Amino acid sequence: MIKRKLILIMENKPGALVRVVGLFHQRGYNIESLHVDPVDDFSSYKFIEEKLETKFKENEISRLTIQTLVSDSLMRQILRQLNKLIDVIAVSNEETTYLKGVLLDENLL
């Protein structure tokens, strides 16, 4: 087991955080730490707006950072499961980024 850091860009809607934490709870994954911030500066997420052909508004998205202790195979499974959640726009770890159902080759967040 290795300590991992996940970064999620998600819609800032009621219940979004509960769905993410619920996914970890249902599958018995442990969250070591959790930090959420609203995104005010969208400049580092322009690639998401371009890929999804959308424009984010103020207080519309949040950045969620989760630290967890998992193996490599479990990490891939967690990334795929988080990517399926409706409120998640992008999810990334140290190596991989998923963007609304699309696997990107590099860590972009």
What are the extents of the domains in the chain? 2-104
The torsion defined by the Cα of 58, 97, 47 and 44, in degrees rounded to 10, comes to: 60
Fold of 2-104: Alpha-Beta Plaits (3.30.70)
Q: Please report the pLDDT score of residue 44 as a whole number.
A: 81
Q: Is 55 exposed, middle or buried (0-12, 13-18, 19+ CB in 10 A)?
A: exposed
**Span 3-59, pLDDT tens digits:** 889 999 999 989 999 999 998 888 888 899 999 999 888 888 888 888 888 888 888
Q: Which residues pair with 63 in a beta bridge?
A: 9, 37
The C-alpha atoms of residue 109 and residue 97 are separated, in whole angstroms, by: 7
The C-alpha atoms of residue 9 and residue 92 are separated, in whole angstroms, by: 9
Tokens of 51: 């890929």
pTM strictly above 0.95:
no
Identity of the amino acid at 70? V
